[in-house]
Amino acid sequence: MSSGMMDRTRRLSLSLSNFSKINEQFRVVFEHVSKNIQLKSENKEDCLLNYIALELLVIPQYYDTIQQYFSEEFTLLVDKAVNCKEISNFRHILNCILLGNVVKNRNDLQGYALRYFSAHQSPFEIREDQTSKRRKMQQNINIEDIDIVESSLFLLRSNPDFYRAKWNWSSFIKKFFNHKEAKVIWIACHTLAVLFGMNEYQLNNVILSKISEELHRNYSYLFYTNQTLKEGDVAPPGIDQSPVVPKQQIQSKVVNVSGIYIPSFHTSVDYEQNLVVVHSTYNNLRKIALGLASGKAIMLQGSVGSGKTCLVEYLAAKTGRKLGENFLKIQLGDETDSKMLLGTYRCTDVPGEFVWQPGVLTQAVVEGSWLLLEDIDSASMDIASIITSLLENGCLTVPGYKDSVPITPGFQLFLTQRLIPTLSGYHKKHSNTMTLLGKSAFLITVDPLSSSELKQILDSQFPQFKTIADRMISVFLLFVPKTLDGDGGQISVPRSGRLISTRDFFKWCSRAVIDFDVQSQASALKVLQDAIDVFCCSFSNTNEALELAKQISTNLGIVNQKAEYFFKTYKPAMHLTTDSLVAGRVMLKKENNEYTRQTKYSFTRPSAVLLERIMCCVSLREPVLLVGETGTGKTSCVQFLAHTLGKRLIVINMNQQSDSADLLGGFKPVDLKYVIAPVRREFEAVFSDYFKVEPNRKYLANIALCFNNQRWGDLLKLINKSYEAALSRLTKSIQDFEANKVQDHEKRKQYEKNKTFLERWQCLGEKLHKLGVQLKQKSALAFAFIEGSLVKAVENGYWVLLDEINLANAETLECLSGLLEGSEGSLCLLERG
């Protein structure tokens, strides 16, 4: 257990004990639970928190005291209170009053009220006779109309657009505008003022038409002083000497992040704990959690590899969000178009038909998802103005689609900004884009890992390196700029090399840990060789790379001659067997054991070293960038390796005219046969499963004849005939079963089978209808989404070689960013949806 968790446990125990001394009702429960020897201490705390949330928090007289004693757990208590399994009408009104108090005092908890009222009605639409059924503890709780109108006012003020559209306010006016109590009318008038957007003059006229000026002045003073018109010092409910303590685990919809409770998407959160939470990580997570509680967009700034993206992905996984579903991630660049964020009209497979395809930002706003926009400092002013407008107005304006798209509860925007290392430290890129966005976003600086924290993570993730951890960290610090705590910057790294980050350090560790033996000299040399591959191979100047390799060798406690040997003399041993290829320290299995014709390839020292380095990347599923002059063997080496291992290699030659559609695909004109062929295959599959094939051989032969002769009209008529017959038979069978309510097991089984068949035929019917529309166009061409070479390769597990990638434009390369993030990378097909 971490020290932060231990401190929280001690503080919570003390708060529970102190609260029992001032609250007589809770004292009875506290003593009862404390004496229960069957419960563990953490279960006792859960039981007590459940009791506070379900029984005490909803009592207005206890609200302020509970918030004072349980300030850090207050979010958890509110979540437990409003998400209990059984919500009666009386309990619903108590929840409404509670949420009214919550949004009045805690702006960060507005989301709980929005989510609750998305599924429940307003407090004033429930009749009094519907609230008569109460639990034992609730018998003495007195709810007055003033409680309901005040909670309605506070909720409406927190988000006027949501509640104005969600609730039936005519019931509110009918019930409270002519109430017998003047103070209820006074609050109702203020509620209507917010509802209809009245100014102060109009509000005063409405109030004075209902009550006297003296009462108006008195109520104004009381309300703006105490934030309520309800009379104080109301006696709390009587003490129940035999309370019912909730023993079951209440499934809360919040998760604890560094002591801050934030809402989770799923009730059962299942995620892989792959983050070692050190001190700086704990602080970074806490800052992000506070940003989430504020409800603002969060901008994370930090150096390359400081963990900006990793932290957001960790929080998304912990709150039950899945990448591609309710968590979206996009890499921005200079050429990124605003259409990617907002959306655009795209063509369909029907000629002349266009449908709206929302962009990632529109999807996230409508569905209430998380959205991560990486490298926002590289984005254009067009994108910055769209995001700024969204943050300032609370709604998204999409030209040509909707003038105003309101934000759905749950939406959260994350932005990342890269800090650039200079001689005087890290600095952020100054631009008009960042100036515009900086005013509206919650800025968080991500603290990088210190050398001691790196060692802590290394000991946790790679315990095999315990004896050499300090040496490995000293190697990494050679390549990073000097930080405030004195880490890094021990040598002057040449500018020709790329930026080295902790991502490279852990990549080195992942390689070096394979077959590592602390007592083996060969393992020590392998660690050195892996370090040279990761840190030095990106330098084009051989002399610079050699000097860096010597520095690495010195820090690892290995003689410099070994570094020179790996750079100048080393040639890996090549060994080809029937089922594998061995190159030095790495072995790759062949795809199949069938004999493949041997290709001619000369294993010179440079080609053998290059082959071994590529194979190391392949074994760890790392993308490879080969840089070199024309004719040095880059392409031939990859082709030889793919051919030898039996891998399918897709070679795509890039140029300045290359478009992202060439890689990802797009809607293109195709022959009708290309569109009809999959529909025919689907029809034959469902037909053979439902009807008997043998008596229908002639019918199926006619369909094949119409297809081969391209008689599309006759083909569609034949298929529609079977579709209508199957639909009629299935519908009648299902309706008969549901009308008679037969309990026979075999008939029930056949009923479920028929429902599945009906869904399959209906799906086919939609495609047949669309196909009929296409045929009416009387055009030989149709439109279909044709997947690009890269998408086909990803789906089928092929290798891809992008030749001359330096000639491609930035927009084309941006589509690859999601695929280069490691073995879990993916592609985003925006045009396909």
Q: Which residues contact 557 (CB under 8 A, 6 or more apart)?
A: 471
Percent of the chain with pLDDT over 70: 86
Q: What is the mean pLDDT of residues 297-320?
A: 89
Q: Are strands 327-331 and 370-374 parallel, antiparallel or unpaired?
A: parallel
In tens, the pLDDT along 77-105 reads 888 888 777 778 888 888 899 898 888 88
In tens, the pLDDT along 227-266 reads 777 765 444 555 554 555 555 556 677 888 888 888 887 6
| Residue 54 per-residue DSSP state | I
Q: Report angle CA 743, 688, 679 to the nearest 5 degrees.
A: 115
Choose from 50-64, 114-128, 469-483, 561-575 the range with maximum mean pLDDT. Answer: 561-575
pLDDT at 28 over 50: yes
Half-sphere exposure of 694 (CA within 13 A, CB side): 0
Q: Are strands 442-445 and 574-576 parallel, antiparallel or unpaired?
A: unpaired
Question: What was the pLDDT predicted at 414?
Answer: 95
Question: What was the pLDDT predicted at 154?
Answer: 92
In tens, the pLDDT along 362-413 reads 989 999 899 999 888 888 888 888 898 898 888 888 887 777 888 888 899 9
CA pair distance 236, 141, nearest whole angstrom = 8
In tens, the pLDDT along 340-375 reads 888 888 776 666 677 788 888 998 999 989 999 988
CA pair distance 226, 203, nearest whole angstrom = 21
Domains parsed from the chain with CATH numbers: 12-236 (no CATH), 278-445 (3.40.50.300), 648-813 (no CATH)
CA pair distance 449, 216, nearest whole angstrom = 60
For the record, the structure tokens of 382 come out as 């067009």
Q: What is the mean pLDDT of residues 301-322?
A: 88
Question: Which three-class secondary structure state does DSSP give residue 250?
Answer: coil
Q: Report angle CA 177, 183, 188 to the nearest 5 degrees.
A: 35
CA pair distance 223, 186, nearest whole angstrom = 10
CA pair distance 108, 295, nearest whole angstrom = 6
CA pair distance 701, 698, nearest whole angstrom = 5
* C-alpha torsion sign, points 96, 99, 104, 107: negative
Q: Are strands 343-347 and 354-358 parallel, antiparallel or unpaired?
A: antiparallel
Q: Which residues contact 780 (CB under 8 A, 6 or more apart)?
A: 671, 672
